[in-house]
Chain A
Amino acid sequence: MHTDHLLRTWSCIAGVAVLAIAGEVLIAAAMRKLGDLDLLRTHSGLGGYIGPIRAVLTSPLFLAGAFCMALNFFALLFTLSVVDLSLAAPATASLTYVGNAAAAKVFLRENVDRRRWLAVLFVCIGVVLLAK
């Protein structure tokens, strides 16, 4: 019974983290592909933002990422109905930070050097301590 509860809790947390990682990496890939949004502005003023907004909203990678983020939102709501917020919030945040760094290195080929791994580790521990 206890093992079942533990398995369910961590499956929910892992599911939320995986969806967040997929969403963030897909959106980051979309934005990297589009390049600096300032350069997509057609002219100065508010009307100039139509170009970047259209480019973002018609990007398949962005739409896939936004879909994953929407699923992540509902998965988080479900998780909060079975797991305490004090565990769910820091656990999903920490797993998402570590997973994002690994996924950015593998899929986005980012240079995740020792400095960035250390930053991820510090953020994870920091988030857990803030939730205490």
Chain B
Amino acid sequence: MKHALKPSQYAILAAVMLTASVGDTLLSHGMSQIGPVDLHHLHLLFHALGNIYIIAGIVLLIGFFSSYMTALSWADLTFVMPATAFGYVIVALLSRFWLHEHLSVYRWTGILLIVCAVGFVAGGPSRTEHEPQRELDVMDSGAGR
């Protein structure tokens, strides 16, 4: 059975992809401003909580967790997983077009493979129906009569 997703559900999947990758990028940028933290300077972690990039990163990661769990409430884990992997592609594209980093052929191939993976899964059903639905299907087909 094919489950068509509503526009709001596509928006949740887009939020899963964007919040994780942009959140990680912001945390990384914030921590690079704070500098290295070791066991003797743990107070720097509290100092980091005042950094605007760290705060924005934490807010986005809370958003990621909320949207990820919302997606799992109406889709299979194996359907949502490639969407989270698409975050790697967004980070790579951000580094190429925003930070002007060089992307090797390996990385472009990796991006292509993950895009294909998302395409494979998005073309299929979002949710596996279990026993009660299967029984209904059997009854509908007349096999149970």
Contacts and interface: CB of A to CB of B under 8 A. Distances in A.
Nearest to B112: A126
A118 interface: yes
A97 B121 CA distance: 14
B72 A125 contact: no
Nearest to B130: A109
Given A119-B121, A123-B113, A128-B110, A104 B78 contact: yes
B107 A115 contact: no
Q: Looking at chain A, what size class is its interface with the partner chain? A: 35 or more
A34 interface: yes
B120 interface: yes
Interface stretch (B49-57, B81-89, B135-143): B81-89
Contact of A110 (B74, B78, B110): B78
Given A122-B113, A123-B82, A129-B113, A116 B121 contact: yes
Nearest to B110: A129
A127 B78 contact: no
B48 interface: no
Interface string B88-121: 1000100000000000101101111110111011
Given A100-B81, A127-B88, A129-B106, A31 B116 contact: no
Contact of A127 (B72, B110, B120, B125): B110
B128 interface: yes
B69 interface: yes
Nearest to B91: A130
A130 B92 contact: yes
Nearest to B118: A119
Contact of A123 (B73, B74, B117, B125): B117
Interface of A: 24-25, 27-28, 31-32, 34-38, 56, 93, 97, 100-101, 104-105, 108-113, 115-116, 118-120, 122-123, 125-130, 132
Interface of B: 8, 69-70, 72-74, 76-79, 81-82, 85, 88, 92, 104, 106-107, 109-114, 116-118, 120-121, 123-125, 128, 130
